[in-house]
């Protein structure tokens, strides 16, 4: 009987491994580990490489600093890319944005390109429910490969900001940002009368447009979320609230939906300690219905929520191949079907009694 149970669990493991998208994780947040998690993806950059970041609204914002990303920039020979903002501030026009870039030292580690500095262009969307095209910086056409490098944190409008936001609002030209924010109503203002969900769905559609653009022959795209300085506020806030939760790590995937889902699970399943409370960030996400973007992104075919969480920081096991992970590299975030947290980034499922659970974004049955 034990042999049969082992075989059943092994077959279940094999099925889940291939039915889910791989998300690579390291708890180390260093320039070296950023390169390591990128390399774990097994995707070689080709042609002209764009590294999409946020330059942050002020020096107090929690944007990813040049000294943190420099190794990845050098490893890939990438150009740092950004677009101007749609709200008032120093980054809403190219001249001020370039000043910010110089002051913060980004141009000291790489060439920096404001992609909408010379206008915009339209790229097609697959989902036309709200927006009929995506309006991006015209310089996007100059790149063959994109590294979507996002700082994962809260956001006043979206609930949270990860790779989906960095790819939709972040890659959109100023007029495109307005178009997404208003769910297709305007290209001149970010204020519209459509619902919150229509905004989130427009972001998902725009993110898919950029993904599809870079999935053409000869192009490609990969995704990285850095989970540090986890404030409830976005890097677009010049006076963000202080983080109330400890840094978690760096995660990467070729699937943006699975990646953002894994990050959300790590937040929602986080065990609070004294002085370390995930609840404010959870409340911000829930208040803005932030998780709807990944649900909708999966619905329109951008990616899947189910994921294998693979810890590339494992030591003492010899040579590892992230593309073919052993059981010792797998980690699990487990909830009951009504959302109660059970296991956080666990190394094993052995402690789970028989029942139905949501394990790494997918409903699964455990039998003992």
Say yes or no to pLDDT of 151 above 50: yes
Residue range 249-288, pLDDT digits in tens: 999 999 999 999 999 999 999 999 998 999 999 999 999 9
**Which pLDDT does position 67 carry in this prediction?**
98
Express each pLDDT in 36-82 by its tens digit: 999 999 999 999 999 999 999 988 999 999 999 999 999 999 999 99
Confidence at 148, pLDDT banded by 50, 70, 90: very high
Whole-number Å distance between alpha carbons of 247 and 264:
14
Q: What is the structure's pLDDT at 368? A: 82
Measured distance CA(270)–CA(95) in Å, rounded:
42
Does residue 12 have a pLDDT over 50?
no
Percentage, residues of the chain above pLDDT 90 = 86
For residues 143-156, average pLDDT: 98
Neighbours of 111 (CB within 10 A): 12
Cβ neighbours around 286 below 10 Å, total: 12
pLDDT for 2 beyond 70 = no
Give the pLDDT mean for 7-24.
59
d(CA 115, CA 83): 5
Give the pLDDT confidence score for residue 102 in this predicted structure.
95
Which residues are registered as beta bridge partners of 227? 249
Write down the pLDDT at residue 323.
78
Q: Give burial (CB, 10 Å; 0-12/13-18/19+) of 356.
A: exposed
User: pLDDT at position 315, please?
Assistant: 58
**Domain 21-330: which topology?**
Rossmann fold (3.40.50)
Question: Is 308 within 8 Å of 16 (Cβ atoms)?
Answer: yes
Q: Return d(Cα 191, Cα 189) in angstroms, integer.
A: 5
**Does 340 have pLDDT greater than 90?**
yes
The two structure tokens encoding residue 17: 């491994």
CA distance 133 to 284: 29
Tell me the percentage of the chain whose pLDDT exceeds 70: 93
Across the range 212-218, mean pLDDT stands at 95
pLDDT at 319: 57
One DSSP character per residue, 27-60 reads S--SHHHHHHHHHHT-----SSEEEE----SSTT
pLDDT band at 326 (very low <50, low <70, confident <90, very high): confident
Instruction: Name the token pair of 67.
Output: 């000294």
Token couple for 293:
């973007």
pLDDT value at position 262? 98
Which stretches of the chain are assigned E, i.e. beta strand? Answer: 21-26, 49-52, 79-82, 112-114, 120-123, 134-137, 145-151, 153-155, 159-161, 220-227, 249-253, 307-311, 330-336, 341-346, 355-359, 362-366
pLDDT at residue 327 in the model: 87
On average, the pLDDT of the chain sits at: 92
Note the pLDDT of residue 320. Answer: 64
Q: What is the pLDDT of residue 88?
A: 80
Dist CA 216 CA 231 (whole Å):
36
């Amino acid at each position: 009987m034990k042999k049969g149970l082992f075989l059943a669990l092994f077959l279940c493991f094999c099925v889940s491994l291939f039915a889910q998208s791989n998300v690579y994780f390291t708890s180390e947040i260093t320039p070296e580990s950023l390169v390591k998690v990128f390399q774990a993806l097994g995707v070689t950059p080709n042609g002209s490489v764009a590294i999409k970041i946020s330059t942050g609204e002020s020096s107090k914002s929690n944007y990813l600093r040049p000294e943190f990303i420099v190794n990845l920039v050098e490893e890939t020979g990438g150009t740092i890319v950004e677009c101007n903002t749609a709200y008032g501030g120093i980054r809403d026009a190219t001249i001020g944005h370039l000043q910010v870039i110089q002051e913060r030292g980004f141009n000291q580690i790489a060439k920096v390109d404001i992609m909408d500095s010379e206008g915009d262009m339209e790229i097609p969307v697959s989902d036309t429910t709200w927006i009929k095209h995506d309006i991006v910086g015209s310089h996007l056409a100059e790149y063959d490969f994109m590294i979507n490098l996002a700082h994962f944190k809260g956001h006043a409008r979206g609930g949270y900001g990860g790779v989906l936001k960095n790819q939709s609002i972040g890659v959109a030209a100023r007029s495109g940002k307005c178009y997404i924010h208003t769910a297709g109503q305007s290209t001149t203002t970010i204020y519209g009368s459509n619902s919150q969900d229509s905004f989130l769905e427009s972001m998902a559609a725009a993110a898919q447009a950029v993904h599809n653009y870079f999935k053409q022959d000869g192009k490609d795209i990969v995704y990285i979320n850095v989970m540090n300085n986890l404030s409830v506020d976005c890097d677009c806030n010049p006076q963000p609230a202080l983080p109330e939760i400890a840094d978690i790590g760096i995660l990467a995937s070729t699937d943006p939906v699975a990646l953002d889902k894994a990050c959300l699970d790590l937040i929602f399943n986080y065990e609070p300690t004294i002085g370390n409370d995930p609840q404010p960030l959870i409340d911000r996400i829930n208040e803005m219905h932030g998780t709807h973007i990944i649900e909708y992104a999966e619905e329109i075919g951008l990616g899947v929520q189910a994921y294998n969480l693979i810890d590339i920081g494992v030591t003492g096991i010899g040579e590892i191949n992230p593309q073919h992970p052993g059981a010792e590299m797998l980690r699990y975030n487990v909830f009951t079907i009504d959302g109660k947290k059970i296991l956080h980034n666990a190394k094993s499922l052995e402690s789970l009694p028989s029942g139905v659970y949501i394990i790494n974004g997918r409903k699964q049955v455990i039998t003992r």
